[in-house]
Every structure is written in structure tokens, then in C-alpha cells.
Homo-oligomer: A and B are copies of this chain.
Amino acid sequence: MNIVIWLSYDGTRYDGWQKQENTDKTIQGKLEAVLERLSGASVKVHGSGRTDSGVHALGQVANFHLEQELEAGKVMEYLNRYLPEDIMVWNAQEAPERFHSRLNAVRKTYRYQIEMGPKKDVFQRRYYYGLGQRLDIEKMKAAAVLLTGTHDFKSFCGSRRMKKSTVRTIEEIQFIQPEALRLHISFTGNGFLQQMVRILAGTLMEVGLGKRRPEEMSRILKARNRREAGFTAPSEGLFLEQVEYGDFL
């Protein structure tokens, strides 16, 4: 049977989503270890996408096949009992046999959280980038308009070895201020390149600090050169918020 799960995790102490040979501190690795204990066989967990080291998730989606017929709710209970405190499965259901959480994803939303005040809230400190300076959000919105739509985002790609298409569509960039000195930027699109959200967030912050003009965004996109875009914002402020599957789920 094919089971799909929705999970949240605090990425602080992990080396990212993807299982690696040289570390057992990955989200995928933790999930597979518990599922192999449950099923007595090797289990491969497919995520909707990798998250980098230190990146968090509110709504990561993953699926895996089990030989046994088990209730999805029981599998979720078992996972939550044996997973560490910083990984939680909050929903689980049986999926069509051919469902694949990465291949069938049609839309994703990431959120980048910035603290503009002099010091981060002590209870939220692991989930914010501490910029410590005020941003001109109107300028950032003007830049965001130029980044929205279908573009070649090669300038915003952290991987040099990317040989496939770097064209993606950003449907929406939203700016939310939950408090006067906090800014959340959420990016919704059909797919994101490696470190793309962090480079977008870093570039937008440079606009908000007056280091770049909003109009530069068009030139940066055209250049197709990572060096033209801004800094890669730290992973601690980034959340994978939601993955959508259209009519599939």
C-alpha cells in the first residue's frame, strides 16, 4: 500500500531532508529508520522535495510503500511514538498506488521569516533570520512584481551543476507583517531551484536595505549568473509551508 504523510519539523539540528551516507541526522533517514522497524523490511520515503540543512517544514509531504496492509492512522501513531520530538507527522492517508509526492506536486509555498528588531524573540529565535535592521517593504514589493511570473531563474540557483531547465513560474510573492518589526515573505510557485528561495529572500532584503534598486531585478534575471543576485539568506528563517497536488489528493 502507498501511504502519504504530512509532517512538520524543526530543521535546526538536521543535515537536511535527504538521506546521506556520512550522517544519520536527516529527516528522510529518521523516517525510514522508524518505518523499517515497523515493517521489518527496507522502506524508501519519497519527499516532495529536499530541504537544505537547517530548513524547517510546516507542511512537508512524503509517501512510501509498505508490504503490509495497515491503517494510515496507526502508521502515523507509530511514527510519532518513535520519531524524535522535532519531527511530527500531523496527517496520514492511503494514496493511489501511483501517487508520488515529488512527481505529482503542482504547487509549493515557502516562507522566509525575518526579524528586523535588534534581537530575536527568545522563543522564536531558531525560526527567524535576525537581520536587526528595518526594511523598506514597499521597495521590496516593487522588486517582487518583477520576479513574479515565468522566468529563467538561473541567477537565483545555488547549484552550478544544474543542467536541466532553470525556468520556473512564481505565482505569488506575499509580504506579511505579523508584528511591526517582523516580516514574512511567502513564495508560491510550481517549483523552486536549489537555494532559490533563500537567494530571492537575500536579494529582496538587499532591496529593502537600499543596497539595490527594485528595477535591477530584470537585469539580474537576464544575466543568468548567480553572482548578479544577492546573498543566500540563512536557512534558519526558511520554512516549507505547503505542497499542493491539485485533484490528485
Contacts and interface: CB of A to CB of B under 8 A. Distances in A.
Contact of A123 (B118, B122, B127): B127
Contacts of A123: 8, 10, 56, 127
Contacts of A10: 122-123, 125
What are the 5 A-B residue pairs with the smallest beta carbon separation, nearest first? A80-B119, A10-B122, A85-B125, A88-B122, A86-B122
Given A10-B123, A80-B118, 18 more contacts: A8-B122, A8-B123, A9-B122, A10-B125, A56-B123, A77-B118, A80-B119, A85-B119, A85-B120, A85-B122, A85-B125, A86-B122, A86-B125, A87-B122, A88-B119, A88-B120, A88-B121, A123-B127
Contacts of A8: 121-123
10 contacts: A9-B122, A10-B125, A56-B123, A80-B118, A80-B119, A85-B122, A86-B122, A87-B122, A88-B120, A88-B121
A230 B133 CA distance: 48
Contacts of A87: 122
A138 to B, nearest CB: 28
Contacts of A122: 8-10, 85-88
Interface in A1-60: 8-10, 56
Contacts of A9: 122
A125 B127 CA distance: 13
A82 B2 CA distance: 52
Nearest to A127: B123
Interface string A94-110: 00000000000000000
Nearest to A56: B123
Nearest to A8: B122
Interface in A189-240: none
Contacts of A88: 119-122
A88 B88 CA distance: 29
